[in-house]
Structure 1
């Protein structure tokens, strides 16, 4: 009986701990965190860099990290603990000195002028954090580790899954030093000083790796065939970012064994030549591909078209900033799963052909801005029923927006959230049918040759957040300042000298004041009760108080007027009193008689 009772008590204690979590802070981990803070404080940037820091960051960092036994380290800033065990599991030391992330610091990284700030981190300080799952050391100017016992220290972090070293100054040797962190699932080494070939042999030890970011370095070569074979060990890698390096087309061939890839980014490299579909066709599980801002050009052959059909899971394709012609668009009809296509800033000329595009019915994002398409808006748009974002801005589309054709081409796009037709040569009037695009949040028709009035029905677009018809030839009244249109300022209507009404400074006068059928039902609404009640009563109260204060001030200064006012008030009081008293007596006598 006694043993059974003890057993139940132990189980109850375990359940209680799980329900309430661990409230304490392990002393070993608390002291380890304080040593890490001291290490960063000693490594404060030199005087030149320090001048660009905010005053609060020049001396004191991590203010909540204090050496006080009453202070719980799990409640410190940038520290996350497991709610059950109380061990530190996540530590974020990102940008510890709070540099301007878009200013000075990136300038130094890009120009290699940060050498005066480089410092080396003692990695042994993290040994006490044995349950650490995630560590973020990005944006701190770290150039490497202090070599003493690096291997032993990293070996203790055997549960670390995510390591972010973004925006430091690590060189190629950093990957070799991390080889003992075999539990890593995510590794970010973007914006560092990695040079040379892709370090495939060094990376192959991270067999559990799922996310790898090596973008914005100085990598520019491919590995040997033997080195590429070592990538076979990275069977779980799903996301790989090699953007903004100096890779050439051969890099794709080096990656061919990474069959598990779902996201691949090779933006801002030197791939050159035609669309590398033959090399890419081996990535049959690929869902997102970014080849933007390379030197790609040309159209696809019949064989390319067959290879393209192998990418049956590809949903997002970014080909911006290349030199493709309009033929590429017709070829992409083979991508049946495609939901996002970006081709802006290429060199497409001629009309946008209708044939070959109907198969892209699953498209959600279509970006064809900044090309040289001309002719009328393509009718195949009516088939893109899943489209949510459409950008055709910066082309040479001409012709009108006819009332009968636009509903056919655009009015059926009920899921559209963003529509950009700016910087074309479109003429005619804005169709009333645009009011049927009930889900649209952004509508840009600026920099065209549109004329006529802005349909007042557009105020029915209740989700609209961005609206611009600037620099056209529109005339008449602007839409009523109701619903979402009450949030748009004059910049939405700039460059239309014949428009009038709020929010423009130009008032509508003369014949323009006559109510249109749309507004006739609203004319009777412009009465006193349309006045803003809050504004009215506020102004009335302020005016009344000012009047009373004025009267009191005058009576206080002028003694003669003050005596006259008192006498007048007294006479009025007695007069009212006797009038009421006499009337009551007469009434009383009348009732008794």
Structure 2
């Protein structure tokens, strides 16, 4: 049916079947009659299966072919090699397999090639494109990189000058040799080699040769060496991501003058040391700066002559930074996401830094003093706050917690939440649904504010390892979506509110090591899943799952009034005296009868007995006679 339909378009030069659902296999499609066709698009139209061995063979004038977003599979047919006029070829997001180098060898007119999102085997040497003099755009991510069977070909001199190269390939090797053709590129505007595991020194010459570069994305490669800047400014470069490599050395101190329009810089998870350059504070265009997980040291002393900066993200987590930081942040500008966790910052914490603040993580530092009592009422956008593992004092009541829920809003963020001494990492789409308050490992005292119960959509609350006192608020029963509630290692007292059994989503619950008393919550719903570790360290708690029963006959002694105790003691004394005299009389009589029996039976013992009695009597008589 489709063949008969296409015969009516023999003179057509452009044909688009995009989004037309054929719901059939591609074998039924035959384009041999469209010999004048120059542009063909059958993208996202429900065709599946393998490409036919013939059909494309006749399309010698075809310049543009779009086969993207279908369920096509298998290798490319040999007929591809005959479409020598192709300038633009899009095979992206299918299930093609095999090494396509032989099938594309004759397509030397190609300017644009996209084969990302398949299972092609692609030689990292780029030798299949050695004769492509017009090639400018290559999108080949999410395929498999392989080593060339002829390593000597890796050093070919390319005839093309690329503008865009996106690979992000998968590989079974620990690392791949660096493709030498890149040494000859000087017209690149966009380079994406993420997760290619390319070995060798960092591409400093790229920044020197490609002055029109706008994006340099080298995340998760295997580059070593230092990060150096060229002598001339790169006025077009706006994004650099060199995270998760093995880059050493220091951050160039002249970065603001060489890359003046930089908006995004990610150098996290490397081996960079030294100080943070002062002139980061002068980069008005910089929106996102991530220097986390390095070995940076010193204080955050930025030159803030360019006031009014707005950081969508400032992440300095897990370094060796120290000193008083909030005084610098006051002068720097506005923040949306601020991550200072895992350092040695000191001084006090302040909320008077940015009205646009949404996420602030200052956990695992050396901040001291009282919890901030002002400034938070102005943070109308605040959705996530972590101040755990510091030396903070004061009451939680000092923070305006009843205002709303703290959430992690961005799916591209990552965050850690600590409960029961275990750290849980949230990222991606899970983080978008995560809301939490973590104030653990501080010196917070006084009471837990009942207003926390107003945070009805919170997922995790960790107040452990503090000095919180008095009772657990009954309003916690309103935390309908709570999944983790950790109040352990405090000085909380009184009963555990029985209303907490209404929490049907809680999966982690701990009130261990407090001064709680009374019965544990009823073993129903989610609370039937908690063992004794959730309640241990509370000597006055009883009931399951603890071994101590709340039965009054077993758990509590029978206390009596003083006069009742006296009467019992008096009655007990009389009973003891009667028992003593009865026992004494029986014993005395028994001994006397035994002596008489022995004396009657044995004459020798009888003689000795009377002799002893006589001797004692005589001696006693003379003793009295002499003395009295």
* TM-score category (smaller protein): 0.5 to 0.7
Cα deviation, residue 468, structure 1: 1.6
Q: Does 1:475 align with 2:491?
A: no
Paired residues of 2:139 and 2:167 also in contact (CA < 8 A)? no
The equivalent residue for 2:331 is 307
Paired residues of 2:250 and 2:275 also in contact (CA < 8 A)? no
Paired residues of 2:224 and 2:245 also in contact (CA < 8 A)? no
Q: Secondary structure at the match of 2:200?
A: coil
Matches within 5 A, 1:147-546: 147=180, 149-151=181-183, 162-165=192-195, 169-173=199-203, 176=206, 185=215, 187-190=217-220, 192-196=222-226, 198-201=227-230, 207=236, 210-215=239-244, 217-223=246-252, 225=254, 229-232=257-260, 235=261, 237-253=263-279, 255=280, 258-269=283-294, 271-279=296-304, 284-292=309-317, 293-298=319-324, 300-301=326-327, 304=328, 307-308=331-332, 310-311=333-334, 314-327=335-348, 329-330=349-350, 332-382=351-401, 384-388=403-407, 389-401=436-448, 406-408=449-451, 410-502=452-544, 504=545, 506=547, 508-511=549-552
CA distance in 2, matches of 1:136, 1:513: 69
Cα deviation, residue 432, structure 1: 0.8
CA distance in 1, matches of 2:79, 2:250: 42
- Inter-CA distance 356–159: structure 2 relative to 1 (3 Å threshold): closer
Cα deviation, residue 380, structure 1: 2.3
CA distance in 2, matches of 1:183, 1:299: 34
Cα deviation, residue 90, structure 1: 2.8
Consecutive unaligned residues in structure 2, runs of 5 or more: 1-5, 21-41, 48-66, 82-94, 103-114, 123-137, 408-435, 556-628
Matches within 5 A, 1:62-141: 77=119, 89-93=140-144, 122=154, 133-137=166-170, 140-141=173-174
The equivalent residue for 2:616 is none
With normalisation by structure 2, the TM-score equals 0.56
Structure with higher RCO (Cα < 8 A, 6+ apart): 1
Cα deviation, residue 422, structure 1: 0.3
Any idea what the Cα deviations from partners look like across 1:124-175, whole Å, max 9, x if unmatched? 89999x997442357843364254x5556x799x797532146654313476
CA distance in 2, matches of 1:489, 1:447: 17
Q: Secondary structure at the match of 1:491?
A: helix
Any idea what the Cα deviations from partners look like across 1:244-267, whole Å, max 9, x if unmatched? 4334335352x5675433221122
- Inter-CA distance 137–181: structure 2 relative to 1 (3 Å threshold): farther
CA distance in 1, matches of 2:99, 2:336: 49
The equivalent residue for 1:529 is none
Paired residues of 1:240 and 1:265 also in contact (CA < 8 A)? yes
- Inter-CA distance 440–266: structure 2 relative to 1 (3 Å threshold): same
Q: Does 1:26 align with 2:50?
A: no
Cα deviation, residue 387, structure 1: 2.4
CA distance in 1, matches of 2:305, 2:270: 19
- Inter-CA distance 183–407: structure 2 relative to 1 (3 Å threshold): same
Q: Secondary structure at the match of 2:357?
A: coil
- Inter-CA distance 75–194: structure 2 relative to 1 (3 Å threshold): closer
With normalisation by structure 1, the TM-score equals 0.59
Q: CA RMSD in A?
A: 4.9
Any idea what the Cα deviations from partners look like across 1:306-353, whole Å, max 9, x if unmatched? 524x32xx11111223333453x22x4131111111112222233324
- Inter-CA distance 452–174: structure 2 relative to 1 (3 Å threshold): same
CA distance in 2, matches of 1:281, 1:275: 16
- Inter-CA distance 88–350: structure 2 relative to 1 (3 Å threshold): closer
Matches within 5 A, 1:549-564: none
CA distance in 2, matches of 1:315, 1:121: 50
Paired residues of 2:229 and 2:252 also in contact (CA < 8 A)? yes
Consecutive unaligned residues in structure 1, runs of 5 or more: 32-61, 81-86, 98-118, 515-593
Any idea what the Cα deviations from partners look like across 1:198-219, whole Å, max 9, x if unmatched? 3222997794663512455343
CA distance in 2, matches of 1:134, 1:453: 61
Paired residues of 1:120 and 1:142 also in contact (CA < 8 A)? no
Any idea what the Cα deviations from partners look like across 1:213-236, whole Å, max 9, x if unmatched? 2455343234364x753313xx46
Any idea what the Cα deviations from partners look like across 1:407-446, whole Å, max 9, x if unmatched? 24x2333443321110112222212111123333321101
The equivalent residue for 1:561 is none
CA distance in 2, matches of 1:347, 1:74: 47
Any idea what the Cα deviations from partners look like across 1:83-142, whole Å, max 9, x if unmatched? xxxx98433449x99xxxxxxxxxxxxxxxxxxxxx9994989999x9974423578433
Q: Secondary structure at the match of 1:201?
A: coil
Any idea what the Cα deviations from partners look like across 1:366-406, whole Å, max 9, x if unmatched? 111111122333432336524242211001122344xxxx2
Bigger radius of gyration: 2
CA distance in 2, matches of 1:497, 1:120: 76
CA distance in 2, matches of 1:125, 1:484: 67
CA distance in 1, matches of 2:179, 2:268: 28
- Inter-CA distance 281–183: structure 2 relative to 1 (3 Å threshold): closer
Q: How many residues align?
A: 429
- Inter-CA distance 208–319: structure 2 relative to 1 (3 Å threshold): closer
The equivalent residue for 1:6 is 9
The worse-fitting range, judged by mean Cα deviation, of 493-502 and 363-372 is 493-502
